[in-house]
Chain A
Amino acid sequence: NAGVTQTPKFQVLKTGQSMTLQCAQDMNHEYMSWYRQDPGMGLRLIHYSVGAGITDQGEVPNGYNVSRSTTEDFPLRLLSAAPSQTSVYFCASSTGGDGYTFGSGTRLTVV
């Protein structure tokens, strides 16, 4: 099992560009979520999904869209990148209480 796979690992965008961060899991987990990690801020929840076709907003959803067409995939879309979205992004999946499995992260820089 690969666990949670995130691509790309690194990305540089210009302000106003759009892009999609990919996340895939092969553990048949129902729950998936996206976080951003900024220095001194810990991890903050962007969007989450409780199953295919169902998504909801987390703490910091502005500027991001998600969709969940399959159990395995949960892409995060930046519609018009801004410097404030420079961060490290983590995707995670879970079946519930016994812990979330995290991907290795995508380091995004918006210039």
Chain B
Amino acid sequence: GEDVEQSLFLSVREGDSSVINCTYTDSSSTYLYWYKQEPGAGLQLLTYIFSNMDMKQDQRLTVLLNKKDKHLSLRIADTQTGDSAIYFCAEIPSGGGADGLTFGKGTHLIIQP
């Protein structure tokens, strides 16, 4: 079945860039997402990329998609303490969105002063 893999932890210094990586297995995925979860809160959609795109930029966020390697990354420029959270990569399998999302286990982003 489909699987989405992420590293569990990433530690960066405040002001540096953070790069969170994700690999997925379903080559027919149509959309790929990044969600942010702060402690005790729900999931907030940060950004998404359609499978026919290579890159998407939205303010401090840059998403890169390498379909050949099934690799997705999220770059956060000028990381701030408010960026401390768990970041989930998720894909829509080939069903087109009706049958839910497949999530990675999440990457804990830790900000060092």
**A residues with CB within 8 A of B:** 30-31, 33, 35, 40-45, 48, 50, 56, 58, 90, 92, 94, 96-105
B residues 70-112 in Cβ contact with A at 8 Å: 88, 90, 92, 96-106
What total of chain B residues lie within 8 Å of the partner, measured CB to CB?
27
Q: Which of B8, B48, B98 meets A48, CB within 8 Å?
A: B98
Bound form: Cα–Cα A56–B100 in Å: 10
| Chain B, 34-73, CB within 8 A of any chain A CB | 35, 41-45, 48, 50
The answer, among A33, A41, A97, A99, for a CB contact under 8 Å with B100, is A33
Q: Is the CB of B88 within 8 A of A42?
A: yes
| A97→B49 CA distance, assembly (Å) | 10
Q: Which residues of B contact A (CB under 8 A)?
A: 4, 8, 30-31, 33, 35, 41-45, 48, 50, 88, 90, 92, 96-106
The smallest beta-carbon distance between B101 and chain A, in angstroms, is: 6
B43 touching A102 by the CB < 8 A rule? yes
Residues of B within 8 A of A102 (CB): 35, 42-44
Q: List 18 A-B contacts (CB under 8 A).
A: A31-B98, A31-B100, A33-B101, A35-B100, A35-B103, A42-B88, A43-B103, A44-B103, A45-B99, A50-B98, A56-B99, A58-B99, A96-B96, A97-B48, A97-B92, A97-B97, A100-B45, A100-B100
Complex contacts, B44 vs chain A, CB 8 Å: 102
- Which listed residue, B33, B35, B45, B105, touches A41 by the CB 8 Å rule? B105
Distance between Cα atoms of A104 and B39 in the complex (Å): 12
Known A42-B88, A43-B88, A104-B42; judge A48-B99 contact (CB<8 A).
yes
Q: Nearest CB to that of B41 among chain A residues?
A: A104
- Cα A50 to Cα B97 in complex, Å, equals 9
A45 partner, pick from B33, B41, B48, B101, beta carbons under 8 A: B101
